[in-house]
Amino acid sequence: MAKEIFTAEWFPYYFERFEGSDKVAVMSLAEEGAYHRAIRLAWKYGSVPANPEMLAAKIQKRCTVKIAEKVLECFEPMPDNPSRMWHPVVEEIRETQERKYLNRVKGGKAAAKGRKISVANKDTSSISPAQLEQQSSSKRERERDLEKKEEKEKRNPAAPAREIFIGTVQAGVVKARNIKKLSPSESQEWANHAGLAFDNGFSAADFIACFVKIKEKYATVRPQYVTDRIEQFVAEKAKTVSPLRTLEQVEAEQAAARVLPPKRTMELAG
SS3 at position 53: helix
Q: Distance between CA 67 and CA 56 in Å, rounded?
A: 8
91-108: pLDDT as tens digits: 999 999 999 999 998 888
Spell out the alpha helix ranges (H) of 65-179. 65-72, 88-120, 129-155, 159-177
Q: What is the pLDDT, as a whole number, of residue 251?
A: 66
Q: How many CB atoms lie within 10 A of CB 188?
A: 11
Q: Distance between CA 246 and CA 225 in Å, rounded?
A: 39
Burial of 138 by CB count in 10 Å (0-12 exposed, 13-18 middle, 19+ buried)? Answer: exposed
With both helix axes pointing from N to C terminus, report the angle between 29-45 and 52-59 in degrees, rounded to the nearest 10.
90
Q: Distance between CA 58 and CA 69 in Å, rounded?
A: 13
Q: How confident is the model at residue 86 (pLDDT cuts 50, 70, 90)?
A: very high
What does the CA dihedral 56, 58, 62, 65 come to, rounded to 10 degrees?
0
Ranges of each domain in the chain: 1-117, 159-241
If residue 81 lies in a helix (H) or strand (E), which one and from where to where?
A: strand 81-86
52-75: pLDDT as tens digits: 999 999 998 889 999 999 999 999
Q: How confident is the model at residue 151 (pLDDT cuts 50, 70, 90)?
A: confident
Q: How confident is the model at residue 121 (pLDDT cuts 50, 70, 90)?
A: low
CA-based R_g, the chain, Å: 39
Q: How confident is the model at residue 184 (pLDDT cuts 50, 70, 90)?
A: confident
pTM of the model: 0.42
Contact 48, 41 (CB under 8 A): yes
188-224: pLDDT as tens digits: 777 777 777 777 666 777 777 776 666 666 555 455 6
Q: Distance between CA 241 and CA 237 in Å, rounded?
A: 6
Q: Distance between CA 210 and CA 227 in Å, rounded?
A: 11
Write the single-letter amino acid at 17: R
